[in-house]
Amino acid sequence: MRCPYCGSDNSRVVESRTGEDGSTIRRRRECTSAGCGRRFTTYERIEQQPLMVVKKDSNREEFSRDKLFRGLLKSCEKRPISVDSIEAVVSKIERQLRLDYEREVASTVIGERVMEALKDLDGVAYVRFASVYREFRDVETLAQEVMSFITDPTGRSSE
């Protein structure tokens, strides 16, 4: 594995752990080249068939775990949420999507699953994501979403 700091392809595995869901292996590596010695993390995953995302305009693009991670990271910015927690949410959403959809999934399905996960994780991150995802056009609509979250943070009807 090539060192991201010095570019050397000499590294050794210091520690390996199985991910929470059992589908990934996290490896801590150490560069063994002279003068570097820095540590970095790699992940090993099962290679799967591509899952295509059908966008609102009917265009299709390959599902990107990194894009999902970056979106969650942006919503959780400056919040007391660890990167490991965000990674766990991404893994859970990806696993659910691959179980529920064989080849294609609508982007709206992904957005709703992210919203559900953020409701449980952090209210501020949820509102941030909702404001972009739901494309609020005015403050009143945003206020309604916030009030809805405050009165029922789970989003479940009490009927």
108 plus 64 within the same structural domain? yes
Q: What's the pTM?
A: 0.66
Q: Is the pLDDT of residue 120 over 80?
A: yes
One domain, residues 57 and 35: no
pLDDT of amino acid 54: 97
Q: For residue 82, what are the CA distances in angstroms to 16, 86, 87, 127?
A: 20, 7, 9, 18
Query: 30 vs 45, which has greater pLDDT?
Result: 30
Residues 146, 116 share a domain: yes
Query: Domain check: are 24 and 96 in the same one?
Result: no
HSE value, Cβ hemisphere, 13 Å, CA-based, for 91? 19
Q: What is the pLDDT of residue 146?
A: 82
Q: Which domain holds residue 153?
A: 48-159
Any domain includes 1: no
Residue 2 resides in a domain: no
Tally of domains within the chain: 2
Q: What is the pLDDT of residues 4-31, one digit of tens each?
A: 999 999 999 999 998 776 778 999 999 9
Average pLDDT, the chain: 89
Residue 159 has pLDDT above 50, yes or no: no
Same-domain pairing of 56 and 115: yes
